[in-house]
Amino acid sequence: MAASNGSAGVFAITKTRLLVFASLAITWWFAHLLPSYKPMIKAEFKSRLDEARQKIPKIKVDWKPTDDPRAKYNASKLALIIEPRPIPHLVPQLLHMTSVVPPDWRFLFIGSNVSVVSVARSYGIKHQQVIGKLDLMVLPDPWEIDTKEHVFRLLTDVRFYEEFLPGVEWILKFESDSILCSNSPKSLNEWLDWSWAGAPRTPDDHFSGNGGLSLRRVSSIRKVLQFQERYNDTEAEDEWFGKRLWVMQGEKVAHGKKGALAVEDFYMENPMGYHVRDGGQSLSDNVWKDPTQRRKIFDYCPEISMIMDMKLERERCDNDNKEGGIGPTDAEKEKAAEEAKKAAVEAVKAKAKEEERLKKESEEEKKKQEEEEKKKQEQGGDDDEDDPLANDADAKAKAMAAEAQAKAASANRI
Where is pLDDT greater, at 256 or 96? 96
Q: Which of 1-10, 154-163, 252-261 has the highest mean pLDDT?
A: 154-163
Residue 265, Cα to own-chain centre: how many angstroms? 13
Give the per-residue pLDDT at 206: 83
Query: Are 238 and 209 in contact, with CB atoms under 8 Å apart?
Result: yes
Average pLDDT over residues 33-37: 69
Q: What is the DSSP letter of 140?
A: P
**Phi, psi of 180, deg, nearest 5:** -95, 145
Q: What is the mean pLDDT of the chain?
A: 84
Give the per-residue pLDDT at 78: 98
Q: How many CB atoms lie within 10 A of CB 220?
A: 21
Per residue in 341-351, pLDDT (tens digit) is: 888 888 888 88
> Where does the pLDDT of residue 232 fall: very low under 50, low under 70, confident under 90, or very high at 90 and above?
very high
Give the per-residue pLDDT at 381: 53
CA angle 401, 403, 409 (to 5 degrees): 105
Give the per-residue pLDDT at 397: 61
Q: Tell me whether residue 375 is exposed, middle or buried, using C-beta atoms within 10 angstroms of its C-beta: 0 to 12, 13 to 18, 19 or more.
A: exposed
Give the per-residue pLDDT at 414: 52
Per residue in 314-327, pLDDT (tens digit) is: 777 777 777 777 76
> Where does the pLDDT of residue 373 fall: very low under 50, low under 70, confident under 90, or very high at 90 and above?
confident
Where is pLDDT greater, at 274 or 44? 274
The answer to whether the pTM exceeds 0.85 is no
> Where does the pLDDT of residue 170 fall: very low under 50, low under 70, confident under 90, or very high at 90 and above?
very high
Q: Which residues of 53-78 are buried (b: 16+ CB within 10 A; e: fewer)?
A: eeeeeeeeeeeeeeeeeeeebbeebb
Q: In what order do the strands lie in the sheet with 196-197?
A: 134-137, 106-111, 77-83, 170-174, 213-217, 196-197
Average pLDDT over residues 277-283: 83
The span from the first CA to the last CA of the chain, in angstroms, equals 168
Do β-strands 178-180 and 170-174 pair in parallel, antiparallel, or remain unpaired?
unpaired
Per residue in 62-104, pLDDT (tens digit) is: 766 667 888 899 999 999 999 999 999 999 999 999 999 999 9
Read out DSSP for 149-210?
HHHHHHHT-HHHHHHHSTT--EEEEE-TTEEE-TT-SS-GGGGTT-SEE---SSTT-S----
Average pLDDT over residues 235-264: 92
Give the per-residue pLDDT at 2: 44
- Tell me how far apart the alpha carbons of residues 240 and 259 are, in angstroms, rounded to a whole number: 19
> Where does the pLDDT of residue 410 fall: very low under 50, low under 70, confident under 90, or very high at 90 and above?
low
Q: In what order do the strands lie in the sheet with 178-180?
A: 178-180, 273-275, 262-263
- Tell me how far apart the alpha carbons of residues 375 and 379 are, in angstroms, rounded to a whole number: 6
Ranges 256-265, 280-289, 290-299: which has the least confidence: 280-289
Query: Are 111 and 119 in contact, with CB atoms under 8 Å apart?
Result: yes
Where is pLDDT greater, at 406 or 130? 130
Q: How many CB atoms lie within 10 A of CB 79?
A: 25
Where is pLDDT greater, at 302 or 325? 302
Give the per-residue pLDDT at 327: 67
Q: How many CB atoms lie within 10 A of CB 351?
A: 13
Give the per-residue pLDDT at 322: 74
Closest C-alpha to 98, from 73, 62, 71: 73
Average pLDDT over residues 96-120: 97
> Where does the pLDDT of residue 189 fall: very low under 50, low under 70, confident under 90, or very high at 90 and above?
very high
Give the per-residue pLDDT at 267: 93
Q: What is the DSSP letter of 317?
A: P
> Where does the pLDDT of residue 407 fall: very low under 50, low under 70, confident under 90, or very high at 90 and above?
low
Beta bridge partners of 172: 79, 215
SS3 384: helix
Give the per-residue pLDDT at 17: 78
Ranges 22-26, 336-340, 392-396: which has the least confidence: 392-396
Residues 6+ apart with CB under 8 A from 158: 222, 225, 226
Residues 6+ apart with CB under 8 A from 230: 152, 153, 156, 237, 240
